[in-house]
Amino acid sequence: MAEFTADLQALLAEMTNAGKNYWPSVLEGYSDDIEHVAKEVLDRRRWVVNTLDVYRRKADGALAGIRWDAPATEEQEGQERYPEVVKVEQVMRTTYRVVQ
């Protein structure tokens, strides 16, 4: 199978050619073989929130992400999101909680 980042880039190009802006729910509708697995905020600025959406290819479990600028306020709605396909990896974290 092709590298998942290349496949995701092709899906983004197909969406753009169809006149659709990137949005996680729209992208999932383009392929039955991918699923949205996580969303993380990478950075918050006054006008945009830099966001990472992580996708998994169901066939082989490969991961890839789309980094994009989400509007920070309703005044920015409709602006270009600048989606960029990036390689991602899963990192496990240990967290602690108080037990009583």
pTM value > 0.85: no
Strand order from edge to edge, sheet including 84-86 = 34-44, 48-57, 63-71, 84-86
What pLDDT is stored for residue 85 in this prediction?
92
Give the residue ranges of the chain where pLDDT is below 50.
Answer: 1
What pLDDT is stored for residue 75 in this prediction?
62
Tens of pLDDT along 26-52? 777 777 888 999 999 998 887 788 999
What pLDDT is stored for residue 76 in this prediction?
58
What pLDDT is stored for residue 45 in this prediction?
81
What pLDDT is stored for residue 2 in this prediction?
64
What is the distance between the terminal CA atoms of the chain, rounded to a whole angstrom?
A: 50
